[in-house]
Structure 1
Amino acid sequence: MAEASVKVRPGIGPLSSSVSTQAGVGIRSDLERLYREQGDRLWRAVFLYSGDRELAGDAVAEAFAQALRRGDSIESARSWVWHVSFRIAAGMLKDRRRTAALPPEGTYQLADEAPDLTAALKTLPPKQRGAVVLRYYGGYSIKETAAILDSTPAAVGVHLTRGRRRLRTLLEERDA
């Protein structure tokens, strides 16, 4: 998988501060506000993608830590943090598959309003699962989803179509 690429313009975007001496404070407060607004939703999306509470927490925390280190060089903090969280989670899942370690006990348990949907999402291939979660849970457009997944809108469209078809089949089988 290609390394994450992020468009950056120093001094531009929601994390920039007009007074350089206050830049650190402004960046921190902007990220704190973003975390309060998006943190739970982002964690939930990464959890739905990965199926692992600890991994989701680690990925989200690391993404916000990286955003803080990058400071005002990030053009769109919200999109950047979502993108990086998913990239970190994907890397952690890839590492886990390489080591073939068993997940910790209770990793896949979560009180959920839609347990059948959550279980069905776990069966989708990673690209389909990522596209479905970002588009329908994260609320991103196809173009934004493609940017977060480092893909093309056409590929995301294919993943969404196949993912929806597979979810429909799985959920109908469970209802039957």
Structure 2
Amino acid sequence: MPGRDDDFTAYVTARTPWLRRVAYLLCQDWHRADDLVQTAITRLYLHWRRASAADNIDGYARTVLVRVFLAEQRGGWRRRVRLVAEAPDGPGGAADLDGALDLREALAALPPRQRAAVVLRFYCDLSVEQTADVLNCSTGTVKSQTARGLDALRRVLRPAQRLTDGENPA
């Protein structure tokens, strides 16, 4: 269907950079983020009739992307292949580059579901209920995963904050 393909192409062209940023926050690797987005876009195309009829196409696409990420985390490939840490090759311009790198590193250390909950709640600005829908879990699980993720981030980032504020580490 030409109209269907045109609508899909227009949507994907406009929203791929946003999907790629969300994927990067989830997996902390630009190449892997591209793979996640490609898989999510393929699944979105297969269900485009349902997705385009949804009230919130971005929400539908984001849900597909997060579920692709979580499924990959559970799969055997993730356990067999170890990606090496590299400096991000994405766009720069962060005012506090050291702080941004510290945050990315701390975010990468979170377990996948905690990371997904934190990214969805604070980067994608979803409510607890919306996040629960995307993660296919209860609101209580979202709250506990988010709280645990934030606690872990605070524990990791607090010492770095003290050192940048001029406190003596001793």
- TM-score, structure 2 length as denominator? 0.76
**3-state SS of paired residue (2:47):** helix
Aligned-pair identity in percent equals 26
Please, which runs of 5 or more residues in structure 1 have no aligned partner? Answer: 1-23
Q: Give me the whole-angstrom Cα distance separating, in 1, the residues matched to 2:108 and 2:152.
A: 11
Any residues of structure 2 matched to 1:9-158 within 5 Å, and which?
A: 24-74=1-51, 75-76=53-54, 77-94=57-74, 95-99=76-80, 101-104=81-84, 106=86, 109-110=88-89, 113=94, 114-158=100-144
Please, which runs of 5 or more residues in structure 2 have no aligned partner? Answer: 95-99, 163-170
Q: Please say if residues 8 and 48 of structure 2, whose CA atoms lie closer than 8 Å, have aligned partners that are also in contact.
A: no
Higher helix share goes to which structure?
Answer: 2
Q: Give me the whole-angstrom Cα distance separating, in 1, the residues matched to 2:59 and 2:101.
A: 28
Q: Give me the whole-angstrom Cα distance separating, in 2, the residues matched to 1:154 and 1:34.
A: 33
Letter in 2 for 1:102: R
Cα distance change of structure 1 residues 72 and 97 upon mapping to structure 2, 3 Å threshold: closer
Residue correspondences, number:
151
Letter in 2 for 1:175: Q
Deviation digits for residues 5-56 of structure 1 (CA, Å, limit 9, x no counterpart): xxxxxxxxxxxxxxxxxxx334333333433443222211211111222221
Q: Please say if residues 59 and 89 of structure 1, whose CA atoms lie closer than 8 Å, have aligned partners that are also in contact.
A: yes
Higher-RCO chain (CA-CA 8 Å, sequence separation at least 6): 1
Q: Please say if residues 56 and 89 of structure 1, whose CA atoms lie closer than 8 Å, have aligned partners that are also in contact.
A: no
- TM-score, structure 1 length as denominator? 0.74
